[in-house]
Chain A
Amino acid sequence: MNQRKMGDLLPRLIPILAVLLALLVGAVMLALLGTNPWEAYRALFIGAFGSTNALADTIVKATPLLFVGLGICIAFRGGVLNIGGEGQLVTGAIAATAVALAVPTWPGWIIVLMSLSAGMLAGAIWGGIAGLLKAHLNVNEILSTIMLNYIAVFGMNYLLRGPMMDPLQIKLGSFTPQTARLPRSVDLPRLIPTRLHLGAAIAVVLAFAVYVLLWRTTIGFRIRTVGKNLRAALAAGINTKRYMVLSLLLAGAFAGLGGAVEVLGLHHRMFTDGSAFGFTGSAGFNGIVAALFGQLHPIGTIPAAFLLGALLTGANKMQRVMQVPSALIGALSGLIVLLVVGSEIFHRRQIRRADKRNSELEDAVDAKEDS
């Protein structure tokens, strides 16, 4: 009985063990750099959780991770690997910005709704393109979503340096590649007097909606069937191509909405440093980690995104306090990704090995049942 409990618990603990292991390796790296790892991690912890502001920043950082992660839950459950979170965040943000700037005088809540919808739609199209390419032309979605990331970034750079550039920047002659500030009427309300905005609450509510979609509706049932066994899904009468497209489309929609929320809730304008990172902070990739960390379960993705958000926020603080090179932070989050994804693969292989053992035993077990 005890053994069984351990068996159930262990897979859930694996991601946490992976993080601890990453922190351990990180401690060695810090020590090699002549920094006291204990002090450094203390700074990280305080930076992430030490004050109301720190905690709020952590949640703000976690919000786009959760949006992207929810989409990843759907996509990966549907058997499609969406690596296009970055591009989908960017297209969603641009669409949301464009809509809000186009009708600045309309009532705020109408613009907010239109703007969020536009972001969602743009992301859905961006993801849907990869879906259509995969379903009808058999184009690998990993390649197509990565390519679409580049297209989104170059599109963003063009728009922000050209048609969408802030008229003020042009007048001043500074030509900073960013749009005008959105009308204040579209700012998402703050939850508490910090940077924490309504977006986080929207994401959490949507996590429950994704749970219902995946496990309580026929649409989710079909997405999961297609993801687990394409041929059985086809034989069961499911239009597999349609659901492949739908999985990527929904993944894009959530990321796109995440991008729109970043604009309306946090930045209030769109800007670029020439890469996607300037705007997204790699949320499109870290969202994948959050989803895997959360075992591809939308509810599990909530704490996973929160923890990753804490790590990112705390790491910033650590960098400032301890004067460690910023590359170390990148290395640390890279390590976590590697170990979390690695442990996931390790775990799956163990399951497969156990399956194999079971099937060898199956004969014998059968005999036992019959006797």
Chain B
Amino acid sequence: MSTSIIEQVQVKELVARGIVKQFPGVLASDHVNFDVHSGEIHTLLGENGAGKSTLMKILYGMYRPDAGEVLINGTPVRFHSPLDAIRQGIGMVHQHFMLVPTFTVAENVALGLPSSRRVVLDLDIVSRRIEELAKTYGLHVDPQAKVWQLSVGEQQRVEILKVLYRGASLLILDEPTAVLTPQEVEEFSETLRRMINEGHAIVFISHKLHEVLALSDRITVLRNGRVVDTVLAADATKEGLARLMVGREVILQVEHPEVTYGDVRLAVHGLSANGDSGLPALRGVDLEVRASEILGLAGVSGNGQKELAEVIAGMRSSTSGQVFFDGTDVTGSLPGKLLDHGLSYIPEERMVDGTVRDFSVEENLILKDHHRQPYAHGVFMDFTKIASESDRLIEAFDIRTPSRHTPLKSLSGGNIQKLILARELSRNPSVLVAAQPTRGLDVSATEYVHRRLIEQRSAGTATLLISEDLDEILNLADRIAVIYEGRIMGIVERGNVDVEQIGLMMAGVSEQTTK
């Protein structure tokens, strides 16, 4: 580690003892004990709000604990900022990448560090060091490549390289696998293994139970700010972990009853569209969804899923191709007309496309039907009916809110998603486009959304389920289409799914070649 820029100690062991962090009205960390030593992957598992991020931020110097102490190699340490944590050999890879897209890999790694040649850049030395690190840990990436040219998986490698380059021996990884294909997850876990073999310590944060089981040595489960249990991964099961997280039995795999498919409700033919940057994002997509069918669209983030959902929902114009609802060409129609055709849309960006944050719960619930019976007579709105219907939906969809007048912005993510579900599903849709319906939701909320989607399937809705969570798609979908760079790489029936093959298609290998 002689080339490391900052003088650091090797973290052999980090121990957090009796950590307490109080926020107004909430105890976010309640006497938490946690430790991790070199050569081990220790996972933090918990629902949203369990206190994972609070603990992580304390370990990385972003928060200061109200009580308790953190010891590194037996010596108590006090962090006033992440810089102190970095000096102690702690590095963090954030869920959202912090890279400059127009810079090269080497430039991004060197960013913020002093050059060994003072005012003259030492990018050649940096590049050589990156190549060394890449070889040691299997983090293959070209130091001269510009970041914008890299895939999401490669960008993540750059983030890890950045941390390693700074000489970190304890790495905190916040939901690192959320953006990877199954194969990339394989490579990633290989990298983690190499890192712990080199004597690094890793704190891993995730809520994907099977990955947690596969990757970790130990697992600490948090609930309501308290440590529920610390278990060895070898002794744990998915069901057991879910029970520890939620505090009750959880159905991880929702039942998928037999249904008879109806006519084609949603059809997309040769659909092409541009992304926000004006470059083609969809290149001739063909899809059909029948009544009582869930078509899952799998793919790595940013391969045209968002654009496809938006074109079907009338929020984006296509450059060629058609969209049919029940055989009627609705290409280029405004959302208003599509709503009349029975479209419901659960958008990826809840707070941007799905809700008005400054409006009340009630106003958000009637957003799409405010002008219809029973909410309005002519131009005048009927507030008695709006109140009774809102209360009914709040009850039926278990939206936790102080009242129907509460501003939406003070609801939690899970409750906002329940509100959107309540609004979209109570319209009894003929076609449902659900984009990332459980992103950011915890296990219980996810379970709830899945159950509702299956209920809607039984009610005859044709659902296009777009998700980056492959497990979700495998759980819910009748057929699975895989999208890569705006093209459908293949469609697989539920009965004969080969995850390996889907993973290859997600990485751009077409169905024909994989067979």
Contacts and interface: CB of A to CB of B under 8 A. Distances in A.
Given A366-B49, A367-B50, A361 B357 contact: no
Interface in A343-371: 355, 358, 360-371
B412 A366 contact: yes
Interface in B355-384: 355-359, 363, 367-368, 370-371, 376, 379-381
Contacts of A355: 409
A228 interface: yes
Interface string A228-253: 11011111111100000000000000
B138 interface: no
The residue in B223, B338, B363, B367 that gathers the most chain A C-beta atoms within 10 A of its C-beta is B367
Interface string A251-268: 000000000000000000
A155 to B, nearest CB: 35
Nearest to B223: A367
Nearest to B222: A367
A6 to B, nearest CB: 16
Contacts of A216: 380-381
B170 interface: no
Contact of A362 (B47, B49, B368): B49
A217 interface: yes
Interface in A73-92: none
A370 B49 contact: yes
A223 to B, nearest CB: 12
A237 B339 contact: yes
B224 A232 contact: no
Q: Which of A218, A221, A366 has the most chain B CB within a 10 Å cutoff?
A: A366
Interface stretch (B24-32, B91-99, B142-150, B388-396): B24-32
B336 interface: yes
A228 B225 CA distance: 35
A363 B28 contact: yes
Nearest to A368: B26
Given A218-B371, A225-B359, A363-B53, A368 B25 contact: yes
A291 to B, nearest CB: 18
A359 to B, nearest CB: 8
B224 A361 contact: no
A219 interface: yes
A171 B338 CA distance: 66
Given A358-B410, A363-B28, A235 B356 contact: no
A259 B367 CA distance: 36
Contact of B49 (A219, A238, A364): A364
Contact of A225 (B26, B224, B367, B412): B367
Nearest to A230: B352
B353 A361 contact: no
Given A218-B376, A363-B49, A365-B26, A228 B356 contact: yes
A218 B368 contact: no
Contact of A232 (B26, B313, B356): B356
Contacts of B334: 234, 237, 239
Contacts of B314: 234
A219 B335 contact: no
Contacts of B359: 224-225, 228
Interface in A193-239: 216-219, 221-222, 224-225, 228-229, 231-239
Nearest to B247: A370
B353 A367 contact: no
Contacts of B28: 363-364, 367
Nearest to B366: A221
B347 interface: yes
Interface in A136-192: none
Interface residues of A, number: 33
A187 B27 CA distance: 69
A184 B53 CA distance: 76
B396 to A, nearest CB: 19
A332 B48 CA distance: 52
A235 B347 CA distance: 9
A136 to B, nearest CB: 14
B224 A229 contact: no
A367 B354 contact: no
Contacts of A231: 315, 352-353
Contact of A236 (B24, B49, B50, B368): B368
Contacts of A363: 28, 48-51, 53-54
A120 B272 CA distance: 46
A235 B423 CA distance: 13
B345 interface: yes
B381 A225 contact: no
B40 to A, nearest CB: 26
A369 B358 contact: no
A233 B409 CA distance: 17
Interface string B418-438: 000000000000000000000
B168 to A, nearest CB: 25
B413 interface: yes
A11 to B, nearest CB: 14
A366 B48 contact: yes
A147 B186 CA distance: 62
A362 B412 contact: yes
B414 interface: yes
A64 B400 CA distance: 46
Nearest to A371: B224
Given A217-B379, A235-B354, A238-B336, A365 B315 contact: no
Contacts of B25: 361, 365, 368
Contact of A235 (B345, B409, B410): B345
A237 B368 contact: yes
A34 to B, nearest CB: 49
Contacts of A366: 48-49, 412, 414
Contacts of B50: 363, 367
Contact of A229 (B48, B225, B357, B400): B357
A345 B188 CA distance: 47
B461 to A, nearest CB: 18
B335 A367 contact: no
Given A236-B335, A364-B23, A369 B400 contact: yes
B47 to A, nearest CB: 8
Given A235-B347, A364-B51, A364-B54, A229 B381 contact: no
A218 B381 contact: yes
A225 to B, nearest CB: 6
Contact of B352 (A229, A237, A238): A229
Contacts of B414: 366
Most buried by B among A217, A233, A234, A237: A237
22 contacts: A217-B380, A218-B376, A218-B380, A219-B379, A221-B370, A222-B371, A224-B359, A228-B359, A232-B354, A232-B355, A234-B314, A237-B335, A237-B338, A363-B48, A363-B49, A363-B51, A364-B28, A365-B25, A366-B414, A367-B26, A367-B28, A367-B224
Given A217-B381, A237-B337, A367-B47, 12 more contacts: A221-B363, A222-B370, A228-B356, A234-B335, A237-B334, A358-B410, A361-B24, A363-B28, A363-B49, A363-B53, A366-B412, A368-B25
Q: Which 6 A-B pairs have the closest CB atoms?
A: A237-B336, A366-B49, A363-B49, A364-B26, A367-B49, A237-B339
